[in-house]
Every structure is written in C-alpha cells, then in structure tokens.
Amino acid sequence: MITLYGIPNCDTVKKARVWLDSHALPYTFHDFKKAGVPADRLAAWTQAVGWEKVLNRQGTTWRKLDPALQASVVDAASAQAVMREHASTIKRPVVEWGDSTTVGFSADAWAGKAP
C-alpha cells in the first residue's frame, strides 16, 4: 500500500496526487495539518533517506524560523524535533511505497513505480 504524506494545498503534493491517480495507483493520503507528523514514520524516513533530504531548508517556513533554531539543527535528532514542531519544514511529498521511501516528486523517478 502506498501512503503519501503532505499537505493538501501544496502544489507539489497536488502534482504527486494527480500522477498517482493517472497511473491508477491506489494510495492513502496523510495530511500533516490534520493528522500531525507521525514521529515513528519521521524517524524511519530520516533513517531511509537521510535527515538532510527530508528537511526542507528552501521553504518559507524554514526561512522564517529563528536563526538560532536553524543553527541548532545539526543531526537527525535535532532535525526531527524541528520537523515535528513545524510540519511545513518537511520536504513534500514523502511517499512510502511499501518497500521504499521517496521524498519530493519527480515523474521520472516515480516511473518505475507504475504498473
């Protein structure tokens, strides 16, 4: 089963959902804004792909954080603490494909996932 994590109004999440629908891939959508960030899944993602890839340092939410808080992010534990508190600092979408995890959307990278 595919689980797509993100926020519904994110343009990249919208593109990802359209791509999954157009390839007839059933999925469950987990809305960070309504359901929060599952701490166990966040730990699994950072272990699978690295906290540097999961943490979105390019987004508005990150740029608005206090510089001292930004500077305190130096490892997986500190990054996860910030991402749990500020869900919008997680690069979107995060997709659990069952046997693998991807962060971000790329039609080319996802092509191998379609039947």
* Active site (catalytic) residues: 10
Cα distances (angstroms) measured from residue 53 to each of 48, 49, 57? 10, 6, 9
Q: Cα separation of 38 and 105, whole Å? A: 20
- In degrees, to the nearest 5, what angle opens at C-alpha 63 toward C-alphas 62 and 68? 80
